[in-house]
Amino acid sequence: MSRRTLKTLGLLGLALLVVAACAPDTAGATATPIPSPLAPVSPGGDPFQLLSWLFTPVFQALFIGLVLLDKLTGDIGISILLLTLVIRIILISPYRKQLVSQKRTQLLAPEVAEIQRRYKGDKVKIQQAQMELYRSRGVSPFGGCLPTLLQFIVLIPMYAVISSGLTNPEPQAMLRVFGFDIGAAIGFTCATADATQPCIEASVPWLGLENASLPSVIDVAGFGVSILAVISALLQVIQTRMVINPNASKNDPMSGAQGQTMVLLPLISVLYGGILPAGLFIYWISSTLFSIGQQYLILGFGGLFPLFGWTPAFAVNHAPRFPVTMPESVPDVAGEAAVPHERTELDRAASAAATIRSAKKRDRHGRRGSR
């Protein structure tokens, strides 16, 4: 099973947990056309219920933030944009570490390939040599895991906030934290007195959305297509291409194929347009734009160009504002100064090979000249 498949399964698992966490407790209730109030799940003996309870604070924090911003702006679409900006500002540091780790791993790719060539067939030796290489260069191959997990932990509750929080007629319980009623403190009142209608007004006039908590699709040749989903998918393709090693397909056909797969996968989100609420795509688009800007400053254009064989003049020899380089020294234990990077056996072997190749070239040129 591939790493991306595991991520997908994990994402679905988180979705189930959060949806269950945000669902009202209806045990023992009789069927009624009136939606039940939105309330946190209480911890219980059921492990699934306990995990759902653990995810409730994330949902509650996002929901409270969205309500506060909606109270200030009076527009749920702008509130989602501002909440996204706050989230991404908080995640600037871990996401930067992820980008730096990915870039440094790409810079080490030629040396990793040399290790695999030298110890071909010995998986244990290859793994040990790779870990020694990463350690000596101060690079963690797992540096990108935590930021990715954090983004998933935010994305799934955001879906629940938009799909459940904006459609519930009584969400006031989610505005109470440790007995303090935030809703009462800010003067929060429902937009309608009808107990069967959503409490929060979710229309976004400037996007032509009547309800951001519902899917927004148009009919194209008999198929429902979401314009927001299409825009989101295209931006994700750009974001993905920017983190791909531009020389991957040249040096490693397998890496090139994986890069193409990473580009095609975001396009699948177009199929979600008729299922997911439009407000989630507002979050997705704004978050992706923020990521593209951050990647541009650290990675530059990456593997974005050539695009269909075209490379614009401004992208030729472009250098990012904050380029990633391999550290010159490896930090020692806490409290001690950094120690200079020592040449490994692989470094010495690569240097010797380069010297031999240079000597052969000079010898060939010399023989040609003597003729």
Residues 140, 148: Cα–Cα separation, whole Å = 15
- Strand-pairing partners, residue 181, are 176
Residues 242, 305: Cα–Cα separation, whole Å = 9
Q: What is the pLDDT of residue 339?
A: 40
pLDDT, tens digit (0-9, with 9 covering 90-100), for 172-197? 999 999 989 999 999 999 988 888 89
Q: Of the ranges 132-146, 314-328, 344-358, which is most confident?
A: 314-328
Interior/surface letters 325-354, b for 16+ CB within 10 angstroms, e for the rest: eeeeeeeeeeeeeeeeeeebebeeeeeeee
**Tokens at residue 46, please?**
């059921």
Rg (Cα) of the chain, in Å, rounded?
26
Find tokens 């995810």 and name the residue. Answer: 55
Residues 334, 82: Cα–Cα separation, whole Å = 38
- Residue 342 covered by a domain: no
Query: CB–CB of 41/174 below 8 Å?
Result: no
- Residue 339 covered by a domain: no
pLDDT of 84 strictly over 80 = yes
Kindly give, in sequence order, each residue whose CB lies less than 8 Å from that of residue 288, ignoring residues fewer than 6 positions away: 232, 235, 236, 239
pLDDT of 56 strictly over 90 = no
Half-sphere exposure of 275 (CA within 13 A, CB side): 6
Is residue 160 left, alpha or beta, with left meaning phi > 0 and alpha meaning psi from -120 to 50? alpha
- Residue 32 covered by a domain: no
**Average pLDDT score, the chain:** 78
Which residue range(s) make up the domain with 49? 3-23+37-171+182-309+317-326
DSSP three-state, residue 224: strand
- CB neighbourhood size of 298 (10 A): 22
Nearest residue to 286 via CA among 89, 80, 76, 92: 80
- Strand-pairing partners, residue 310, are 307
Query: CB–CB of 300/319 below 8 Å?
Result: yes
- Residue 348 covered by a domain: no
Residues 316, 246: Cα–Cα separation, whole Å = 13
Element (H, E) at 340: strand 339-340
Residues 177, 158: Cα–Cα separation, whole Å = 19
- Residue 144 covered by a domain: yes
Rounded to an integer, the average pLDDT of 271-294 is: 93
- Residue 136 covered by a domain: yes
- Residue 356 covered by a domain: no
Residues 95, 148: Cα–Cα separation, whole Å = 8
Kindly give, in sequence order, each residue whose CB lies less than 8 Å from that of residue 29, ignoring residues fewer than 6 positions away: 36
- Residue 360 covered by a domain: no
Residues 249, 23: Cα–Cα separation, whole Å = 46
pLDDT, tens digit (0-9, with 9 covering 90-100), for 193-220? 888 899 999 999 999 999 999 999 998 8
pLDDT of 321 strictly over 80 = yes
pLDDT of 7 strictly over 90 = no
Q: How many domains is the chain built from?
A: 1
Banded pLDDT at 137 (limits 50, 70, 90): confident
**Tokens at residue 246, please?**
């531009």
Residues 109, 111: Cα–Cα separation, whole Å = 5
- Strand-pairing partners, residue 218, are 225
Q: What is the pLDDT of residue 53?
A: 80
DSSP three-state, residue 218: strand
| Ranges 255-259, 311-315, 334-338: which has the least confidence | 334-338
Rounded to an integer, the average pLDDT of 244-253 is: 62
- Per DSSP, 276 falls in state S
Residues 233, 288: Cα–Cα separation, whole Å = 10
Interior/surface letters 252-289, b for 16+ CB within 10 angstroms, e for the rest: beebbebbeebbeebeebbebbeebbbbbbbbbbbbbe
